[in-house]
Amino acid sequence: MKKLSKYSIGMGDRFAHQASYQLKAVAEATQKGYDISPVWNKSNREHTTIGSEPSDARNAVEVTVKEMAWNKPYFVDADHINLDTVDRFMDSSDFFTIDVASYIGKQGDCAQRDDFIEEMAPYIGSFSIPGIEKPFATTKEQIEKIADQYLYAACMAGETYKKIATAKGAGNFITEVSMDEVPEPQTPVELFFILAMLAHYKVPAQTIAPKFTGRFNKGVDYVGDTKAFAIEFEANLMVIDFAVKIFGLPAELKLSIHSGSDKFSIYDPIRELTQKHDKGFHLKTAGTTWLEEVIGLALAGGEALEFVKEIYGKALQNVEKLCAPYADVIDIDESQLPTAEAVKNWSNEDFANALRHIPGHPQYNPNLRQLVHVGYKLAAEQIDKYNALLEQHADIVGHCVYENIYDRHLKRLLAL
């Protein structure tokens, strides 16, 4: 049976150039005693935007794994798939992130509401979870409300899982369930019943990605109360521990932090709490590898710098269109975006400093960073030129990719 290591990191490689530098960062951390599974994730939307196929992602990973003689577990993730989009990933993926966000709050025939409510009868009133100070007080009406919000979504996760298991065989892939790209967070008590629902529909999730309190905008730091996050995160760890025992979910089940890349201000509590309770985590670094490619090309100067300036200029003309698919995970103040004319006069260091995520740097601009984050489609429209520039400046770009994953993420999260 395929299992994730205690720690795992999901790394996007939208244009399939950076697997070796990404794996180099993971290998460096494993040499210091940490068991980490690298996971290369790419969504149906990203494949469609770029014009690639899931087999392209798998092939790039396999070449790198062979060249670097990596002999530990690794996975290729069909990211943010559902029943409608999973088919094209069957042959190439062995990790499936089943995204149920679009089903939340909806009703459907497959949701066995009355049966589930009856199963949950022991939890009506008050029940305690070890490690959480206050007991959960729940009414039947509250459980019914949670079921109305999430049961159909869990059911659809079950239907998607069954489809994958039929094609690949149970145990031959990792299952993640994600519900993070929604407006409202799930509370620890809601997570408890969501896990009960996944068990009800026999979904053997090894990771679950809830929506946490606060803003998890793409590629920039966490916005919210870090102390409240820490309390919620620890409660979720305890909920998962308890749910594994009573519902028979996989012992490997762990929290997944989606859009988690660059949430530096919550990395300390994530590290401290998972180490306190001897738990792992799955971190998904979203599209920050693409941002590092842009930074690397900017640093390369010349034609490469002009290319990324052109990409930014086009992004400025299409802000609304580029941001629409990411409405729940992006927050741009357009008044703080520099004009295309201003950017034309920037040096390579000016551009890199504005985009590179060093919050204390005087030139860093989180609004520009978020816009470029969602602007990868503009590079895809000039794919041949972009690929050629990446190949021409592979070492500069690759160093940026490695530095980002190792220094900004793994070092902080594992105290390397």
189-241: pLDDT as tens digits: 999 999 999 999 999 999 999 999 999 998 999 999 999 999 999 999 999 99
Domain map (residue ranges) of the chain: 7-287+407-414, 290-401
SS3 content of the chain, % helix, strand, coil (to 5): 55, 10, 35
Average pLDDT over residues 99-120: 90
- Name beta bridge partners: 283: 9, 257
- pLDDT at 381 (0 to 100): 97
- pLDDT at 320 (0 to 100): 94
pLDDT over 70 for what percent of the chain? 100
Q: C-alpha distances in angstroms, 236 versus 132, 240, 281, 327? A: 9, 6, 12, 26
- Name beta bridge partners: 79: 43
Decide if pLDDT at 286 tops 80. Answer: no
| Pair 265, 411: CB distance under 8 Å | no
- Give the integer Cα–Cα distance in Å for 177 and 251: 15
Query: How close are the terminal C-alpha atoms of the chain, in Å?
Result: 30
Quickly list DSSP for 173-195: SEEEEE--SSSSPPPHHHHHHHH
Decide if pLDDT at 260 tops 80. Answer: no
- pLDDT at 401 (0 to 100): 98
Q: C-alpha distances in angstroms, 361 versus 336, 342, 365, 401? A: 16, 19, 9, 19
Decide if pLDDT at 39 tops 90. Answer: yes
Selection from 266, 149, 142, 253 nearest residue 195 by Cα: 253
- pLDDT at 328 (0 to 100): 81
Q: What is the mean pLDDT of the chain?
A: 96
Average pLDDT over residues 250-272: 93
Better-scored residue on pLDDT, 325 or 311: 311
Residue with tokens 């589930």: 116
Quickly list DSSP for 215-235: B--TTS--BS-HHHHHHHHHH
- pLDDT at 261 (0 to 100): 84
Q: C-alpha distances in angstroms, 326 versus 13, 41, 218, 314, 339? A: 18, 17, 8, 18, 22
Residue 131 CB neighbour total at 10 angstroms: 13
160-185: pLDDT as tens digits: 999 999 999 999 999 999 998 788 89
In this prediction the pTM is: 0.96
Q: C-alpha distances in angstroms, 404 versus 40, 104, 281, 329? A: 16, 34, 19, 21
Selection from 12, 1, 5 nearest residue 254 by Cα: 5
Taking the CA of residue 284 as centre, how many other CA atoms within 13 Å lie in the half-sphere pointing to its CB?
A: 31
Q: Are strands 125-127 and 136-138 parallel, antiparallel or unpaired?
A: antiparallel
Does the domain at residues 7-287+407-414 carry the CATH identifier 3.30.160? no
Model confidence at 31, in pLDDT bands (50, 70, 90)?
Answer: very high
